[in-house]
Chains A and B, each alone.
Chain A
Amino acid sequence: MLKGKKVAILGDRDGIPGPAIEQCVKSAGAEVVFSTTECFV
């Protein structure tokens, strides 16, 4: 599902932050085109 896809990441400071998700989806062969981390506090 991820391989060869473009991925936009919406991370969460109090969940999984953007950079951690980036590492994961890159390892699955996806290209990260946007990555951010939201903060509610």
Chain B
Amino acid sequence: MGFPVVKGTAYALIQATEMVFHQGTTQTSERRKNPESEHLKKLPEHLRSFQDAVSYPPNQVYIGNMTPDDLKDIPRPWYQAPVPGASRHGKYGEIMPEDEFLGLIKIVDAFDLVFLEKGFQTQVQEKIAAHLVLGDINGLDKLSKEPGDAEQIKKMVDDHSAQPLLFAGKLVGCVKKAHEFDEALSDHVMFENLVSKASAVFVLKHLLAKTELQADQVEYIVECSEEACGDMNQRGGGNFAKSIGEICGCVNATGSDTRSFCAGPAHALVEAAALTQTGIYKNVVVLAGGSSVKLGMNSKDHVKKGMPVLEDMLGTFAVHIGENDGVNPIIRTDGIGRHKIGSGSSPQAVMTAIVADPLDKLGYKIPEIDRYSPEMQNPEITEPAGAGDVPMANYKMIGALSVKRGELDKKDLLKAANSFGMPGFAPTQGHIPSGVPFIGHARDMILDGKINRVMIVGKGSLFLGRLTNLFDGVSFVLEKNSGAPQETGFNKEEVRLMIADAMRVFAQAFRGE
């Protein structure tokens, strides 16, 4: 059967500047505490245009038109270094503008909670019908039916029974609450969940369009965002995965949701690897949509420092894991890294558990991994907010661990960090930057023979849920496929011979008695 492989990936972004202002928690918290705040007044001046978002170098890397290494050659600030001739269409996916996305939210709404004003709805219907990847989407007809009335939309928003949907400063629709008083079905929660679902649908449609995978070949979907859906009797009941597969025509798939804060995608990929390696399912898709509430999370610092609000992008990804085909990079399931409950929470305990321990198992030294993809947050977003350059800190930690293990000279630490590291290019969308943004690039680089092995690292801040102070982390190694599918060490023929031998010995002993 052999190790499972990464057969394909898709990555997409959606610019959502109005959601930054109206639904990002930094802004909603500010509005609650201090509606007249300076921040809320200044923020709109710092929102960027769609073209600026498209030509922003890290976004071009995210959708696959440039590589992470290309970013090393672009001097910062990147927001002042637009990529000439940048396209919204990328090798791995696309950058979508907010109006089209609002149309997509209505398409994926199964309970008539989304209303779009008539004129606006007609406009986006035309755009989505002409869209290369979405033109054939299930539910497109919803955009030709039951348009919302502008006055009624305004009334629902003013009554606080619906979340506003805006485009270019104008109220064009709303998402209403799904229950009179159930907080798990409030307008706010329904908005958040529909954004997550719609954006995940977008990236899955791209995966199906850009790779050989057909919708009816998908047997299992693992969704790994950070949202929860359910009602007051089962607030996190699920199931995002099936709701997303349903829209995309994955009629033969079932699925479920996996959660572990930002480490969710790494857990989900390990689960997908296990499901395919054991032969339970042939084709598994791991995916996640974006987080509306995290939009503009650090925008106060960006505004204060005179920068554009760079956290205006919803991030999404989808990865197809399948049986070993002898070609695509394998997932080394014999050396999965995990932060154990008993591992401890100091940075070195965490890094030992998720980087050093699995490499020991695989027989590799830290510098023998060509690239590490830990948390790939764009440093241009995090540095002004005081969190530093997160990927670089991770690279230095990995290097420092290597020094402590005597594999690396301390004076070479920075050099090593630069050689197995890359600049961060992912939006700060929690689960989105956590290891997974590099899988598409890693697959290409391995297939092109540029590198042989990569470690994907996901880390999660479980303490934010206030149930435990524990940290979390999971890692796995992606490696060049040797072309021989039989490599897991489990060989049926060998086991058969071993059993036969044992039986012979037993029979001899038995006879001897």
Contacts and interface: CB of A to CB of B under 8 A. Distances in A.
Interface of A: 12-20, 23, 35, 37, 39-41
B345 A41 contact: no
Most buried by B among A12, A14, A23, A37: A14
A13 B385 CA distance: 13
A40 B298 contact: yes
B428 A39 contact: no
Given A17-B346, A41-B390, 8 more contacts: A13-B461, A16-B347, A18-B463, A19-B346, A37-B461, A40-B382, A41-B375, A41-B433
Interface in B386-403: 386-388, 390, 393
Contacts of B428: 40-41
Interface string B461-480: 10110000101000000000
Most buried by B among A15, A19, A41: A41
B385 A17 contact: no
A18 B466 CA distance: 14
Nearest to A23: B346
B349 to A, nearest CB: 8
A39 B347 contact: no
B387 A41 contact: yes
A33 B433 CA distance: 34
A41 B347 contact: no
Contacts of B382: 40-41
A39 B375 CA distance: 13
Interface of B: 262, 297-298, 345-347, 375, 377, 382, 385-388, 390, 393, 428, 430, 433, 461, 463-464, 469, 471
Contacts of A20: 345-347
A39 B388 CA distance: 12
A18 B471 CA distance: 11
Ordered nearest first, which 5 A-B pairs have the shortest CB separation? Answer: A40-B387, A20-B346, A19-B345, A39-B461, A40-B385
A37 to B, nearest CB: 6
Contacts of A12: 387
A14 B379 CA distance: 13
A12 B386 CA distance: 10
Nearest to A12: B387
Contacts of B345: 17, 19-20
B471 A14 contact: no
Contact of A37 (B262, B298, B388, B463): B463
A35 B298 CA distance: 23
Nearest to B377: A41
B399 to A, nearest CB: 16
Given A16-B347, A17-B346, A17-B347, A41 B469 contact: no
Nearest to B428: A41
A19 B463 CA distance: 11
Most buried by B among A16, A18, A20: A20
Nearest to A20: B346
A37 B350 CA distance: 15
A41 B262 contact: yes
Contacts of B430: 41
B465 to A, nearest CB: 11
A23 to B, nearest CB: 8
Contacts of A23: 346
Contacts of A13: 461
Contacts of B461: 13, 37, 39
A41 to B, nearest CB: 5
Contacts of A41: 262, 375, 377, 382, 387, 390, 428, 430, 433
B335 to A, nearest CB: 26
B464 A14 contact: no
A19 B386 contact: no
Contact of A19 (B262, B377, B387, B469): B469
Nearest to A13: B461
B134 to A, nearest CB: 30
Nearest to A17: B345
A41 B435 CA distance: 14
Most buried by A among B297, B347, B385: B347
Contacts of B375: 41
29 contacts: A13-B461, A14-B387, A14-B390, A14-B393, A15-B388, A16-B347, A17-B345, A17-B346, A17-B347, A17-B471, A18-B463, A19-B345, A20-B345, A20-B346, A20-B347, A37-B461, A37-B463, A39-B461, A39-B464, A40-B297, A40-B298, A40-B382, A40-B386, A40-B387, A41-B377, A41-B382, A41-B387, A41-B390, A41-B433
Most buried by B among A12, A15, A16, A19: A19
Contacts of A18: 463, 469
A17 B468 CA distance: 14
Contacts of A19: 345-346, 469
A20 B345 CA distance: 6
A39 B393 CA distance: 15
B273 to A, nearest CB: 26
